[in-house]
């Protein structure tokens, strides 16, 4: 893995020595009248979407060659996704999603 744009863009190694780029959404902080919000400056994926891909892939591999380690990885990935989705739901409930407010 090589970092192209910290926190936003990564070059991932392919099995045959090539690379492919993984890009996350990039937002800039915007301050307007005592409120902080974010403006999208570059489209990309989210942490949640990458976790969904990993969960699907691990389930696919588990179906082909089941093992305890795969099952644990699936559980931990699902837990990561749950916590990220909980964070978003909590922020929406508090009316602060998309802002810098806590």
Q: Which pLDDT value is given to residue 34?
A: 67
* Domain locations in the chain as residue ranges: 1-45, 46-94
55-71 average pLDDT score: 98
Q: What percent of the chain has pLDDT over 70?
A: 96
Q: Could you tell me the two tokens for 19?
A: 């690379």
Report the candidate in 46, 73, 44 with the shortest Cα–Cα distance to residue 58. 73
Q: Mean pLDDT, to the nearest integer, of 24-46?
A: 85
pLDDT band at 68 (very low <50, low <70, confident <90, very high): very high
- Compute CA distances 94 → 27, 30, 39, 90, whole Å: 21, 20, 20, 6
Q: Which two tokens stand for residue 11?
A: 């070059």
Strands (E), the chain: 2-5, 9-13, 19-23, 26-32, 35-42
Compute the distance between CA of residue 77 and CA of residue 28 in angstroms, rounded to an integer.
Answer: 28
For the entire predicted model, the pTM comes to 0.84
pLDDT of residue 28: 87
- Give mean pLDDT, residues 34-52: 89
């Amino acid at each position: 893995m090589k970092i192209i744009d910290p926190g936003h863009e990564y070059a991932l190694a392919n099995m045959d020595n090539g690379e492919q780029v993984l890009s996350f959404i990039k937002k800039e902080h915007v301050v307007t009248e005592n409120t902080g919000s974010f403006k999208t400056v570059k489209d990309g994926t989210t942490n949640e979407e990458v976790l969904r891909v990993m969960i699907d892939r691990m389930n696919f591999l588990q179906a082909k060659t089941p093992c305890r380690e795969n099952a644990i990885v699936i559980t931990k990935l699902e837990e990561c996704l749950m916590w990220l989705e909980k964070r978003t739901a909590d922020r929406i409930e508090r009316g602060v999603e998309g802002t810098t407010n806590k």
